[in-house]
Amino acid sequence: MRAARKKVAMTQHELAARLRVSRKTIVGWEQSADPLDEGVALQVFNITRQIRLVENSYRVDVTKHGTYAVVGRRIRNVPHPTAMAWFSSELMLFGEFERRDHAYRWRAALEATADPRGTRKLIKERAVENSAKSPC
């Protein structure tokens, strides 16, 4: 199940939402040594078969603060009831560095790993920073 989910760059939370179960249930299924129920396995197969990963890339951008941000971009072709082709795109901040060479080293490490994770702390800091700057 984990391999099928990773193939289309889907998070446990996204799969749980599509199956209408909790993320903890997905974690339990993936960590269990017992085989999945046939019905659940078929649902997971159908969901992951319909989604096609178009792009999964990383880049380094210069921020307005003069630091270097490592950003991941994921584009997927997702089935939609009223559209012939529906593309879902996501940008995620993976890290912010003072030195350019550190940022490029981090980007190379992300490209080499099978399971990159975002930096939630940085995302929260940016959200707080942006909300403080916006006029109320």
Give per-residue pLDDT as tens, 71-80.
988 888 887 7
| Phi, psi torsion values for 90, nearest 5 degrees | -135, 140
Average pLDDT over residues 37-48: 86
Q: Is the torsion defined by CA of 6, 7, 11, 15 positive or negative?
A: negative
Q: Which residues pair with 71 in a beta bridge?
A: 59, 93
pLDDT of residue 121: 60
**pTM exceeds 0.75 for this model:** no
- CATH architecture group of domain 1-50: Orthogonal Bundle (1.10)
Q: How confident is the model at residue 113 (pLDDT cuts 50, 70, 90)?
A: confident
- Domain boundaries, given as residue ranges, for the chain: 1-50, 52-136
- Asked if 61 contacts 73 with a C-beta cutoff of 8 angstroms, the reply is no
Residue tagged 């975002």 (tokens): 118
Q: How are strands ordered across the β-sheet holding 68-78?
A: 52-62, 68-78, 86-97
- The rounded distance, in Å, linking the Cα atoms of 16 and 94 is 23
pLDDT of residue 56: 81
- Asked if 12 contacts 2 with a C-beta cutoff of 8 angstroms, the reply is no
